[in-house]
Amino acid sequence: MVVNPHREEAAHAGDLVARELEAEGIQVCRSFESDRDEPIEAAIVLGGDGTILHAAALTHGTGIPLLGINLGHVGFLAEAEREDVRTAVQRLVAGDYTVEERNTLEVLVKQTDGTTVGGWALNEATVERDNLRRTVEIVLEVDGKPVSTFACDGVVISTATGSTAHAFSAGGPILWPDVDALLFVPLAAHALFARPLVVGPRSYFALEVTERSESAAQVVLDGSRSIDVARGGRVEVRRGRHPVKLARMSDAPFAERLVRKFSLPINGWRGPVQDG
């Protein structure tokens, strides 16, 4: 069980979940270490999307499915809302759920001194300027071929899952979760050709911070982990090897989730035209 430590409501919900599980004879683990605590059937996550991303980082590579219960605001990754806590736990105990895999990103930063640093993300990897008063100049490369050079505040490279997060707020398109693709969205680019790009699962993006760039950069992974990139450094982003598994209890289409989470107006909809 992973609980947002900054929300009192999450702590109370965590106590409720623990009591429900222990009453069913199920052992509850509150402090997870992958080399000690496996096997675990599932992780219940109490909080918002940030807490779910934290749980994904804790369990990365283990194959443990995450059941998110939204105690935050949007909660796009969550499967249940706060009023559904008991029902969600009962269905988890009964095995009444399916498992959905979400693609991840694999990130490799190559420094100017020849060293490399690796990382991964479920939602997105952003390459951002480390000096807020200057722009960062990058060369964009796709599959080993240069595409464009421009100065910008940064860029977002996301999975389909992350298309409704940072990439969406930057004007990128929404990708359905089953779209096997990588999305590139520039942030305030000083260029005529600086538009979102979508590439297939076997393609990869690479970004080089030019030597003449006004600012160095940093790679931020899912908004919580960062890697510094000096001028002349290179960032490669491709489809990850380890997907994140989400426990699902509803077969509602993604469009329905989109309307509900973003409170989209659908007044006037009459449904498909019926023949005859």
pLDDT tens, position by position, 104-160 = 999 999 999 999 999 999 999 999 999 999 999 999 999 999 999 999 999 999 999
- The CA distance from 197 to 186, in Å, is 9
- The CA distance from 88 to 67, in Å, is 9
**Predicted pLDDT at 207:** 98
**Predicted pLDDT at 273:** 75
Alpha helices by DSSP H, listed for the chain, are: 8-23, 34-37, 49-58, 85-93, 166-169, 254-262
Strand, coil or helix: 194: coil
Q: Do 98 and 109 belong together in one domain?
A: no
Token pair belonging to 34: 């992958």
**Predicted pLDDT at 275:** 67
**Predicted pLDDT at 36:** 63
**Predicted pLDDT at 35:** 63
**Predicted pLDDT at 272:** 82
The answer to whether residues 239 and 201 touch, using CB atoms and an 8 Å cutoff, is: yes
Judge whether 271 lies within some domain: no
Q: Do 226 and 257 belong together in one domain?
A: no
Q: Do 126 and 220 belong together in one domain?
A: yes
Q: Do 113 and 188 belong together in one domain?
A: yes
50: CATH: 3.40.50.10330
Domain coverage including residue 171: 105-239
pLDDT (tens digit, 0 to 9) for every residue of the chain, 276 residues total?
999 888 888 888 889 889 989 888 888 888 877 666 567 889 999 999 999 999 999 999 889 999 999 887 778 899 888 888 889 889 988 999 999 999 999 999 999 999 999 999 999 999 999 999 999 999 999 999 999 999 999 999 999 999 999 999 999 999 999 999 999 999 999 988 889 999 999 999 999 999 999 999 999 999 999 999 999 999 999 999 999 999 999 888 999 989 988 889 999 888 887 765
Q: Of 55, 58, 60, give the one whose Cα is nearest residue 79.
A: 55
141 Cβ contact partners less than 8 Å away, ≥ 6 residues apart: 147, 205, 206, 207, 208
Domain count along the chain: 2
The answer to whether residues 203 and 174 touch, using CB atoms and an 8 Å cutoff, is: no
Q: Do 72 and 183 belong together in one domain?
A: no
Q: What's 128's DSSP letter?
A: E
**Predicted pLDDT at 86:** 87
Residues carrying an active site annotation: 49
Q: Do 140 and 124 belong together in one domain?
A: yes
Q: Do 133 and 221 belong together in one domain?
A: yes
**Predicted pLDDT at 276:** 56
Judge whether 269 lies within some domain: no
The answer to whether residues 216 and 86 touch, using CB atoms and an 8 Å cutoff, is: no
Q: How far apart are the two ends of the chain, measured CA to CA in Å? A: 53
**Predicted pLDDT at 127:** 98
203 Cβ contact partners less than 8 Å away, ≥ 6 residues apart: 142, 143, 182, 238
